[in-house]
Amino acid sequence: MKRILSGIKPTGNLTLGNYIGALKHFKDFQDQGEVFIFIADLHALTLPIDPQFLNNNTRDIACFYLASGLDPKKTTIFLQSSVSEHAELNAILQNYLYMGELSRMTQFKDKSAKMKESAIGLGLFAYPVLMAADIVLYDADIVPVGEDQVQHVELTRDLVKRMNSRYGENTLIEPKYQMNKVGARIMSLTNPSVKMSKSDPKGDIFLLDDLKTIRKKIMSAVTDSGSEVKYDKENKPGISNLLTIYAALKEISIEEAEALFKDYRYGDFKKAVADAVIEEIEPFQARYHHFLDSKEYIEVLRQGREKAKAVASKTLARVKHAVGLLDIDEE
C-alpha cells in the first residue's frame, strides 16, 4: 500500500486556492493508500509570526482538515511540533544537504529578496531540510504538492539518493511528487498574473469569507475587453482563472467548462462561478464551525500524534543506526 503525506503551514488565512489545490483532494487520498496529513507549525516559525495568530491558525487548519472530509480512522492527522522526531531527524539531515543546494531554492530567493540580509533567519534558509525530514520520516511514496514545492521534493529525492548511496539502499525511501491536473494554481481575482495568496484581501477568496463577500469578489473579478468565455492564459488570464476554478470545483475538464459557457456573457459566467464556489464553501464552513465549537480536533490531533510517532520513531532509529549514532537502549 502506498503511503501519502502532505501538510499545510498555518501562516495565514487559507484561500480558495488552498482548498482547490490541497484540501479538496485530501479526502480522495484515503482510498489510494495510507495517508498522513500534518499541520506544519514548525515551518511557520521561519518568518516572523504573531504567537496568537499562529495558535488560532493551527486550530483552524485542524478543523479545515476535518471539514474537508478527512476521516481520522483512515487518515493520520497530526501536529508537526508534537512529534519530536521531525526536529531530531532535521538535525541529522542538515549535514547531508549543502549550502549551494539550499541557496538555489526559488522560494528562499523570493522570500529573502524582500528582507534585509541581517533579518534572514537560518530556519528560512534551511526550510527544505526540515521539509525533507517531514517526508522521509514517514517513508512517504507520494507527496501531493503545489507547483511552488516541486523543487523541494526534488531536493529531497537527491538527499535520499545521497544517503542511500552512502549508508545502504534502504536507509530512506525515495518519494515522488504529485500535482493536481486541474486547479493546481489558482490566481488572484484582481491580478490573474500572480497566484492567489494569503496577502491580497481583495484578490483572494478566503475560506471563512462570508458568502456575500465571496460573491462580490467573484463578480468584481478582472476579465478583459472581449466577450468570449474561452481558456487563453496569455490573452484572457482572468477568464481562464475563473474557468479553472469552476472546472476544479465541478471536477470536469477545462474543455468541458469552456463548452458549457461558450454562449455566456461575462456577467452570467461570473454568476455561475460564484454559485459553484458558494455551493462548495457554504457546507464546508458549517462543518468547520461544528468541529471548532465541539473541539473534536483536539482528540484527533492527540490520537494522530501517537500514530505518527509510532512510524516516525522507527524511521529515526533506522537512520541513527545507519549513520553510526549509538543507541544506549540496545547496549
Cell of 184: 493546481
Give the architecture (CATH level 2) of 211-290.
Orthogonal Bundle (1.10)
What distance in Å separates the CA atoms of residue 90 and residue 73, rounded to the nearest whole number?
A: 28
Q: What is the pLDDT of residue 257?
A: 97
Which residue shows C-alpha cell 483532494?
25
Catalytic site residue from 2, 27, 109, 195: 195
Q: What is the pLDDT of residue 122?
A: 85
The full set of domain ranges for the chain reads 3-183+295-323, 211-290
Q: What is the pLDDT of residue 183?
A: 59
Q: What is the pLDDT of residue 293?
A: 97
Cell of 49: 509570526
* Residue 204: Cβ-neighbour burial (10 angstroms; 0-12, 13-18, 19+): buried
Catalytic site residue from 111, 230, 271, 314: 111
Q: Model pTM greater than 0.95? A: no
Catalytic site residue from 198, 230, 271, 307: 198
Q: Is 270 a catalytic residue?
A: no
Which amino acid is present at 83? V
**Going by C-beta distance under 8 Å and a sequence separation of 6 or more, which residues neighbour residue 264?**
229, 272
Q: Which CATH number applies to 3-183+295-323: 3.40.50.620, 3.40.50.300, 3.30.365.10, 3.40.47.10?
A: 3.40.50.620
Q: Is 27 a catalytic residue?
A: no
Q: Is 212 a catalytic residue?
A: no
Q: pLDDT 10s digit of each residue in the chain, 331 long?
A: 899 999 999 998 999 999 998 899 899 999 999 999 999 999 999 989 999 999 999 999 999 999 999 999 999 999 999 999 999 999 999 999 999 898 888 887 777 777 777 777 888 889 999 999 999 999 999 999 877 789 999 999 999 999 999 999 999 999 999 986 655 689 999 999 888 876 678 889 999 999 999 999 999 999 988 889 999 999 999 999 999 999 999 999 999 999 999 999 999 999 999 999 999 999 999 999 999 999 999 999 999 999 999 999 999 999 999 999 998 887 7
Q: What is the pLDDT of residue 193?
A: 85
Q: What is the pLDDT of residue 152?
A: 92
